[in-house]
């Protein structure tokens, strides 16, 4: 993108507003000439009023369509009324300024006229932006409020549909659009014997709460729309969709990596039959995303050697070992304790160069009730309801209890 194009994109609204202002002035002069010299009303007051009315009407439609892009039918007449009221108010303000500073205080007429014109132009812009065409709280503002910084919209035709029945079940089809959302979860609290994702609350609870908020917004503003939020159990390949959306790339460890939050991210998505324009969004541009450095650090750090093209085919990720049911072998216990994790494994994530300067999550949900160390006292203190809100609950209390008991036994042996 050239420097001129970049500047235009940055100041597009102001530039278009000034262009519309010039054209509005031209329309005003044209109407004045038309009704004075062609129609000949022989009434300058009426001619001026007609010219003002038509020029303001032109300014309204031009501003609505091209400057502030308020294209929905809902609220049209209210916007029109507010636009005329605001222009009338600034018009009277200009008349008042001329009367006070020229007729009463004897200031230079042209100096006052010039200053007043600049002030009125600025006031008209402010009133148009923040009163007449004020952006309603929409999907963007909801996501921002929830701390979701990375999101992008893509047509589902560009993605891999893996569970089509989930689309049809919710009245969606191949013409749907997908809004991919990145949910960074790493808090500033570093867990001592858990993987980071297991130390925070289960993200499905966050997605459920967010879904209710988003679906409520859609039902209120688009009563006939189809809109469904998914996470994990999704009709699409989520990691592929995140890559297509430009939210990240696949590392050598097979994880999605975002340049700001590294691989400590969950994914969720909204699938809808609404268009980007209706939601105030635009399709994600196809762009080159920074990719894996192929530095080999994740492979070198893997406790079981299961990463890379030359990985041991029989090796299991330590994360999978900690989630097994039944009794663990002595080798598996030794491996688990050597790496100090009773649930999951962050070795390859911590070794990744992108993690070194990765940001912590801005999402409030992941900064609440973080478990530093999971011991028997803490685990036994969790009710079944509280346990159900933790990421390790899906395996049942028995598996995590087994791991905690192993950890306590090992820890006791080490202390002795």
How is residue 263 written in tokens?
């691989």
DSSP-based three-state secondary structure for 230? strand
> Which residues, including other chains, have CB under 8 Å from residue 336's CB and lie 6 or more apart?
318, 321, 322, 328, 342, 403, 406
* Bigger pLDDT: 95 vs 412: 95
DSSP 202: P
pLDDT at 278: 87
> Which residues, including other chains, have CB under 8 Å from residue 140's CB and lie 6 or more apart?
280, 281
Residue 203: name the closest of 275, 147, 257 by CA.
147
Distance CA 281, CA 389 (A): 33
DSSP 324: -
CB-based contact 171:226 (threshold 8 Å): yes
Dump pLDDT digits (tens) for 336-361.
Answer: 999 999 999 999 999 999 999 999 99
Comparing 114-123, 185-194, 309-318, 386-395, the range with the smallest average pLDDT is 309-318
pLDDT at 309: 62
Dump pLDDT digits (tens) for 239-288.
Answer: 999 999 999 999 999 999 999 999 999 999 999 999 998 898 889 987 66
Dump pLDDT digits (tens) for 176-220.
Answer: 999 999 999 999 999 999 999 999 999 999 999 999 999 999 988
Statement: residue 293 has pLDDT above 60:
yes
CB-based contact 231:203 (threshold 8 Å): yes
pLDDT at 89: 95
Statement: residue 151 has pLDDT above 70:
yes
Residue 273: name the closest of 176, 373, 194, 391 by CA.
176
Dump pLDDT digits (tens) for 106-124.
Answer: 999 889 888 988 999 999 9
Q: What angle do CA 18, 20, 21 make, to 5 degrees?
A: 60
Q: What is the mean pLDDT of the chain?
A: 90
pLDDT at 416: 44
Distance CA 289, CA 357 (A): 18
pLDDT at 220: 85
How is residue 292 written in tokens?
């894996």
DSSP string for residues in 231-283: SSS-SB-HHHHHHHTTS-EE-TTS-EEBTTTBT-EEEEEEEES--HHHHT--B
Dump pLDDT digits (tens) for 40-98.
Answer: 667 777 888 888 999 999 999 999 999 988 866 778 899 999 999 999 999 999 889 88
* In the chain, where the domains are located: 3-132, 136-416
Statement: residue 413 has pLDDT above 60:
no
Measured from the Cβ of residue 207, the count of other Cβ atoms closer than 10 Å reads: 21
Phi-psi region of 411 (alpha: psi -120 to 50; beta: other; left: phi over 0): alpha
Dump pLDDT digits (tens) for 210-235.
Answer: 999 999 999 888 888 999 999 999 99
* pTM metric for this prediction: 0.70
Instruction: Give the confidence band of 323 by pLDDT, cuts at 50, 70, 90.
Output: very high
Residue reference for tokens 């402010």 = 126
> Which residues, including other chains, have CB under 8 Å from residue 44's CB and lie 6 or more apart?
36
Q: What angle do CA 227, 230, 232 make, to 5 degrees?
A: 170
DSSP string for residues in 116-182: HHHHHHHHHHHHIIIIISPPPS-HHHHHHHTT---EEEEEGGGS-BS-HHHHHHTT--TT-EEEEEE
pLDDT at 26: 92
How is residue 309 written in tokens?
């093209």
Residues 131-151: what's their mean pLDDT? Answer: 86
DSSP-based three-state secondary structure for 227? strand
Statement: residue 5 has pLDDT above 80:
no
Residue reference for tokens 């600049």 = 118
pLDDT at 51: 86
pLDDT at 137: 60
């Amino acid at each position: 993108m050239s420097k001129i194009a970049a500047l235009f994109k940055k100041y597009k609204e102001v530039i278009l507003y000034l262009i519309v202002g010039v054209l509005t002035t031209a329309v005003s002069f044209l109407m004045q000439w038309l009704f004075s010299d062609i129609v000949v009303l022989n009434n300058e007051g009426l001619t001026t009023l007609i010219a003002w009315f038509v020029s303001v009407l032109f300014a309204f439609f031009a501003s609505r369509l091209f400057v502030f892009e308020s294209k929905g039918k809902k609220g049209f007449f209210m916007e029109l009324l507010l636009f005329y009221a605001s222009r009338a108010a600034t018009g009277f303000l200009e008349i008042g300024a001329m009367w006070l500073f020229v007729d009463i205080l004897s200031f230079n007429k042209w100096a006052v006229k010039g200053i007043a014109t600049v002030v009125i132009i600025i006031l008209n812009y402010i009133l148009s932006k923040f009163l007449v065409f004020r952006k309603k709280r929409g999907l963007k503002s909801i996501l921002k409020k929830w701390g979701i910084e990375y999101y992008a919209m893509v047509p589902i035709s560009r993605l891999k549909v893996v569970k089509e029945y989930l689309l049809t079940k919710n009245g969606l089809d191949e013409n749907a659009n997908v809004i991919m959302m990145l949910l960074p979860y790493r808090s500033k609290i570093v867990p001592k014997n858990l993987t980071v994702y297991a130390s925070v609350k289960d993200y499905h609870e966050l997605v459920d709460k967010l879904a209710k908020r988003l679906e409520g917004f859609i039902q209120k503003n688009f009563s006939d729309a189809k809109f469904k939020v998914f996470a994990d159990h999704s009709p699409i390949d989520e990691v592929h969709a995140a890559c297509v959306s430009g939210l990240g790339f696949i590392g050598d460890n097979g994880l999605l990596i975002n340049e700001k939050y590294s691989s400590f991210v969950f994914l969720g998505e909204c699938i809808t039959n609404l268009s980007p324009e209706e939601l105030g969004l635009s399709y994600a541009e196809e762009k080159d995303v920074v990719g894996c450095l192929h530095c080999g650090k994740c492979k070198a750090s893997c406790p079981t050697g299961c990463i890379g093209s030359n990985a041991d085919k029989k090796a299991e990720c330590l994360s999978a070992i900690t989630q097994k049911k039944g009794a663990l072998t002595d080798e598996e216990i030794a491996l688990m304790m050597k790496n100090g994790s009773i649930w999951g494994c962050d070795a390859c994530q911590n070794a990744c160069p992108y993690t070194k300067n990765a940001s912590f999550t801005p999402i409030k949900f992941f900064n609440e009730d973080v478990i530093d160390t999971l011991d028997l006292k803490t685990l036994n203190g969790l009710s079944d309801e509280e346990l159900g809100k933790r990421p390790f609950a899906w395996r049942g209390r028995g598996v995590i209890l087994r791991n905690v008991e192993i950890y306590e036994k090992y820890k006791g042996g080490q202390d002795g």
